[in-house]
Structure 1
């Protein structure tokens, strides 16, 4: 039978048309009926064999029914159906795109993707909510996780280290809500971050010295600001002869270090049995002879165990925390300690915090999507019953006469106070210069303010 071919008026956007969805759905039904005829044999086929089978069957289906689409559109449908049968459908290309950082799906026809810190709506879509759920359950199946009305919210780690969060009805009102966070397979090195403009050479040297001197560092920032990437980068400064234990809720860190022990918390069953919390893991990590403990994110009662670890011989430990400034970071630690049931006085808690932490490194995402280190702040002790801090470096955006913007990091002209860095002072001194026009210091009348 001769084949009827008509070129679509808008072939370049064929995949976004309803006609594409209709033809793909009909061809999919045809494939399912053919697979049913094959029975168990199909389940043993390789991806290559499935691809060849789909190409032949779709071509045959289109030709016999004289569907008015061109050759390129036939290939589009065949490719999509191969991914549907042997892969992850519309998600497959996004998961394979190295530039994609986040995939956010609000129901089957609302897909948003973040690339290089910029969030945009994607043209791809799923056929319906059931199609989206099939793909999500296909991802969850090898992980041993279930998703149904009795378990409508799932958080899981993907095999490549990414993170998947799914919420469905009755909790999600407008259809399945899917969030996928991807992580680089090759963690950024500190030199890479300098090349990308995340911070400058002076801050690079300070962080290098601080890590080698076993200073305790807290990386603070908002959501998707680059905290994990910076923590990964700091690990490159850790000497190779040290044992590092990482503790995370969902394993995201990928430290480039020869001696790393990775621990991940575990959710409990329906009755809460079997749960292993971050706090449990931090306590256990101290029995594993760590030189350093790295906590992926501090957001609960585990803050007390982290502080105790830093105060009891595990210098050089690091963690991340959600906060928008160094001062807010300290406030958040106090708040979390209160939630943990800290029974001591306010003064004793602040002294414990001041004794544990050496530096707070603030990172953020600018309005243009770029991630930048915003400040490096040192904890210098106590003053007037408050935690005393001093800012060493601060990020500023410089606007040229032609309107172009550039980043710069202003030194406040202060050498680090920490005794741990005494032997590095000569190395750091040339990099600490008072700017010709110093930026105004933050108001010192805040909760942790202090005059310089």
Structure 2
């Protein structure tokens, strides 16, 4: 992608050739009075005061037309309007002198050229800055050209798992399960819109009045949801769930207290025995992380097909086919749904089918796949408990419009699902597996279940929940499947000295 194309996307302008991103115009901010450029002043105390916008008399951005944008260092306080005038002037001249044919993907080369131009501009204009000020100013300008503006330092911070932009002046992040407001702002709502456009444009997605929200992902795989007025009353919003290059391992999950070694050993045996597993929980409870870890237990000689709305899974096996759903284009055509992908997967000779999340009528096709020889399938589902998971699966199956009797649907669920793992985000921000529950069959009109492990909270100290995932003493009925696969689990895993059945 050329630098010119990148800048067009950063401005929210449609690409010169084709493309269908039509960002919704946002009411412009009131312009500030022009001010003379000056050397970088001492930072003002943090106040949250809005920065000055471009003045009508400000110099033209450049022949490339880049509009001014603001980014602050993560720990930098709000700065004066004079600073932004200086940043805008240096940024505009730098962009005017950059070769527009530079390939933006060659980050190191663009950065080297930009650094040389930046140093020359400061020298020619006799702008005197300290070494720290020069470095900070250059990083802010580089983030606008090569990255995602004010969000770039947050995206590069490995301690942050989620980023939430609530309009131009309010940004929150999640660290260790806790939300924190950060002293970073956008220049204006238009600035937020430009970043949204930069994210969605390469994916061929649209966001405008007729389609005021969109799901997308960043080049590194981070999942993005954006919404704009009129459905968002506070201005454009962004929610970014970061994609980690090095996902959590099973050992780290144990260290964090999410699960015990005994429970994980049991789940590993369940995966090897090709049991059908649903991971349930609320938003942000760690379902996808756990699904990724359990998928890692699948033997390397099996063909795995994954189906997701937005690709998040990071399987390490070689024989993996990843499928991703696709929304309709600007003409309302070309949509590919999760349900269509599940149906198509059955023709692809899968050994395992992994669906990132079941959320609609695709549940029917997933259950049918589980009931027709595709054992060892796994998926996630938003719900509040294992019992609620069964109710949601029933509701989603009925959404398929097949007019099936409720009993028939429940029999399908009871026959297809072997195990439900429920995970919760606790009030201290930690993620815990709270239930490992067997789906054991039907009694009359009701699906029967039995808890194999339950989280038992024993206290709350220094803001941390104290407790442990404990076995209930019950041995699941599907132990025969586990033993038939050649795995012998010690009775102590289930909290008993000998086999205890129900």
Q: Normalising TM by the smaller chain, what interval?
A: 0.7 to 0.9
* Cα distance change of structure 1 residues 82 and 288 upon mapping to structure 2, 3 Å threshold: same
In the alignment, which of 30, 41, 46 is matched to residue 110 of structure 2?
A: 46
Post-superposition Cα deviations, 1:93-150, rounded to whole Å, max 9, x if no partner, equal 1111222111110111100111221111111111111122222222333333343344
Change (3 A) 1:140 1:430: same
1:421 CA displacement: 2.5
Pick the aligned partner of 2:283 from 215, 223, 226. Answer: 223
Task: Give 1:121's aligned residue.
Answer: 181
Counterpart pick for 2:365 among 305, 309, 313: 305
User: How far apart are the structure 1 equivalents of 2:99 and 2:458?
Assistant: 66
Q: Which residue of 2 aligns with 1:15?
A: 76
TM-score by length of 1: 0.87
Kept after mapping to 2: 8 A contact 1:235/1:257: no
The superposition leaves residues 159-208 of structure 1 with CA deviations (integer Å, 9 ceiling, x where unpaired) of 22211111112222221111111122223232331122211111011101
> What residue is the counterpart of 1:341 in the other structure?
401
Choose which of 342, 354, 358 in structure 1 pairs with 2:418.
Answer: 358
Q: 1:77 aligns with which of 123, 130, 137?
A: 137
Counterpart Cα distance in 2 of 1:168 and 1:59: 42
Alpha-carbon distance in structure 1 between the residues aligned to 2:336 and 2:77 = 45
Unaligned 5+ runs, structure 1: 436-451
Confirm or deny: 8 A CA contact 2:276 2:370 kept in the other structure.
yes
Matched, 1:433 2:495: yes
Q: Which residue of 1 aligns with 2:469?
A: 409
Mapped contact 1:101–1:113 kept (Cα < 8 A): yes
Paired residues of 2:40 and 2:83 also in contact (CA < 8 A): no
The answer as to whether partners of 1:8 and 1:70 remain within 8 angstroms in 2 is no
Residue 194 of structure 1 corresponds to 254
Cα 1:297–1:284 shift into 2, 3 Å: same
Aligned pairs (5 A) from 1:65-104: 72-104=132-164
Aligned to 1:447: none
Q: Are the counterparts in 1 of residues 45 and 78 from structure 2 also a CA contact under 8 Å?
A: no
State which of 395, 399, 404 in structure 1 corresponds to 2:455: 395
State which of 230, 241, 245 in structure 2 corresponds to 1:181: 241
C-alpha change, 1:365 and 1:74, in structure 2 (3 Å) is same
Q: Deviations over 1:282-303 (max 9, x none)?
A: 0000100001100000000000
How far apart are residue 402 of structure 1 and its match? 9.3
State the shift of 1:37 in Å.
Answer: 5.7
Q: Which residue of 2 aligns with 1:421?
A: 482
Aligned partners of 2:455 and 2:475: how far apart in 1?
Answer: 17
User: Residue 431 of structure 2 corresponds to which residue in structure 1?
Assistant: 371
Give the Å deviation of 1:405.
Answer: 4.7
Query: Comparing 292-301 with 395-404, which one deviates more in the overlay?
Result: 395-404
Q: Check whether the contact 1:377–1:389 (CA below 8 A) recurs between aligned residues.
A: yes
User: How many matched pairs?
Assistant: 429
Give, in whole Å, the separation in 2 of the partners of 1:52 and 1:242: 52
- Please say which of residues 389-398 and 277-286 is displaced more in the overlay: 389-398
Instruction: Give TM-score, length-normalised by structure 2.
Output: 0.79
- Offset at residue 228 of structure 1 (A): 0.3
Given that residues 166 and 236 in structure 2 are in contact (C-alpha distance below 8 angstroms), is that contact kept between their aligned partners in structure 1? yes
1:324-374: CA deviation from partner (whole Å, max 9, x where unpaired):
100000011111112222322221111110000000000111111111111
Contact residue 74 and residue 153 of structure 2 kept, 8 A: no
- Distance apart, 1:309 and its partner CA: 0.4
Which residue does the alignment assign to 1:207? 267
Structure richer in helix, relative to its length? 1
1:378-389 to 2 correspondence within 5 Å? 378-389=438-449
Gaps of 5+ in 2: 1-37, 47-72
RMSD, aligned α-carbons: 2.8
Summarize deviations over 1:29-71 as a string: whole Å, max 9, x none. 343145336674777862111123224424655x45x7xx755
Residue 52 and residue 421 in structure 1: after superposition, are their counterparts in 2 closer, same or farther (change >3 A)?
Answer: same
CA–CA distance in structure 2, aligned partners of residues 301 and 403 of structure 1: 41
1:290 alignment partner, SS class: coil
Q: After alignment, is 232-241 or 169-178 more displaced? A: 169-178
Choose 172-181 or 6-15, whichever is displaced more: 6-15
Secondary structure of 2:133's partner? helix
Q: Does 22-31 or 204-213 show the bigger shift?
A: 22-31
Query: Residues 13 and 22 (structure 1 numbering): CA distance in 2 closer, same or farther, change over 3 Å?
Result: farther
Deviation at 1:272, TM superposition (A): 2.8
